[in-house]
Structure 1
Amino acid sequence: MPLVFRFGTGPITDPYFNVPLWLQTETRHGLLWAYNLEHLTLIGQYVQAPLRERPPPSEAGCTMSFIARLPAWIKRAKNRTEVLRAVDRMRTSLVS
């Protein structure tokens, strides 16, 4: 299933089932969402990393990972604290 980052208003929906995703939270920069806990963990690890290295291109020719498709506001170091707080909020919503 392709990861599609949409901009605009309204809740983000699953492209296959067309139902709203549970893991969504609003920040002052935009809407942060994830498909599942694994996706949320990968976003958190990327944002938290002090050195963000790109993986080598695969043999299949795919050179763009879902990390490369993240909105710029998520990748900016100045927004790191706010994005990590949003990731933690979504993670705790799974527990409760």
Structure 2
Amino acid sequence: LEGDLSRKFVSETVIEEKRKQIQEEWEKVRKPEDPEEAPEEEYDGRSLFERLQEQKDKKQEEWLPFYNPLTNCAIVCFFAFICNLFCT
């Protein structure tokens, strides 16, 4: 049980090392007009499932016009029309 709890928590040392690494990477790409300190990551309190679901929904919205049966029919009809013009 104790081993399970230790995996869920991160020590302050690990957090500081990560901050230093982020700051070093920031200094490599920072422009003069950018702040000296690396920007903090915004905390997203949603579960992993909720974040992945949001990404999935966005991708489905982007692809929805391509899967619309009326759109597909119009595309097929258009190509059939073009083929009839140039192939016969």
Q: TM-score, normalised by structure 1?
A: 0.24
TM-score (norm 2): 0.25
Q: Comparing both structures, which one devotes a greater share of its residues to helix?
A: 2
- Higher alpha-carbon Rg: 2
Greater relative contact order (CA < 8 Å, ≥ 6 in sequence): 1
Higher strand share: 1
